Amino acid sequence: MDPAAPSPRRRRRGPIDWPTAILIVLVVTAALYVLWRDGSARFLEVIGEDSSLFLWMMPNVLAGCLIASLVTVLLPRDTVVRWVGKEAGFKGILISAGVGIIVPGGPYTIYPIAAAFLGMGADAAAVITLITSWTTIGLSRSLVWELPFLGFDFVLWRWVGALPLGVLAGLIVRAIERHWRMKAKP
């Protein structure tokens, strides 16, 4: 990909898109069901618990978004495209798998980073590889939780079983994309 060429722009979404609208309908339906089934006291209790969870999560989500925005400033777009863009091929999937293994943090961190990479021109297959590797392996999780509680043998065998999953997920996405492109051609 030519670094001087303008990068493809992602379609701007409004404040409420279809996934958000569906989520709102599900939340309102569930809330009304709890109100009908358990009464107003339980309804208010659930609202209070959910509000405290929301207040606890919000700083984490904001920190994750801040990290993702810093990634977009620190990593030049052309570098991201070169390493994990469509043109990077299998190498981009391997790089994404490695990054997914070593990135620390929880979902508050990884999903904003993944969205930032997509916005910077990373290939969807590479981003799916990143998330899958982070989910299935996660070095920090292995060192902090699994190794002390479950032992080295368990962690080793889990890694042997899980290591190819991120790469496999990326290759499956590439195959599906290739199939769709072939079908779209007249």
Q: Give, as one character, the DSSP assignment of residue 88.
A: G
How does pLDDT run across 158-186, given as a tens digit for each residue?
999 999 999 999 999 999 999 998 888 77
**CA atoms of 53 and 101, how far apart (whole Å):** 28
- Tell whether the model's pLDDT for residue 126 goes beyond 80: yes
What length is written for the chain?
186
> What pLDDT does residue 2 have?
54
Question: Higher model confidence: residue 138 or residue 1?
Answer: 138
Extract the tokens encoding 69: 């925005």
Among residues 8, 169, 171, the alpha carbon closest in space to that of 89 is found at 171
Is residue 85 classed as helix, strand or coil in its secondary structure? coil
Chain mean position to CA 92: 17
For the range 136-142, what are the long-range contacts, defined as Cβ-Cβ under 8 Å and sequence gap of 24 or more?
A: 136/162, 136/165, 136/166, 137/100, 137/101, 137/162, 137/163, 137/166, 138/101, 139/101, 139/102, 139/104, 140/104, 140/105
> What pLDDT does residue 182 have?
86
> What pLDDT does residue 11 have?
67
Extract the tokens encoding 41: 């006291």
Among residues 63, 140, 147, the alpha carbon closest in space to that of 102 is found at 140
Predicted confidence band at 10 (pLDDT cuts at 50, 70, 90)?
Answer: low
**What is the share, in percent, of the chain residues with pLDDT greater than 90?**
79
Kindly give, in sequence order, each residue whose CB lies less than 8 Å from that of residue 37, ignoring residues fewer than 6 positions away: none
- Tell whether the model's pLDDT for residue 8 goes beyond 70: no
The mean pLDDT value for 138-158 works out to 94
Extract the tokens encoding 52: 């405290």
Mean pLDDT of the chain: 91
pTM, two decimals, is 0.78
Residue reference for tokens 């599900």: 26
> What pLDDT does residue 167 have?
97
Predicted confidence band at 6 (pLDDT cuts at 50, 70, 90)?
Answer: low
How does pLDDT run across 34-91, given as a tens digit for each residue?
999 999 999 999 999 999 999 999 999 999 999 999 988 999 999 999 999 999 999 9
> What pLDDT does residue 185 have?
78
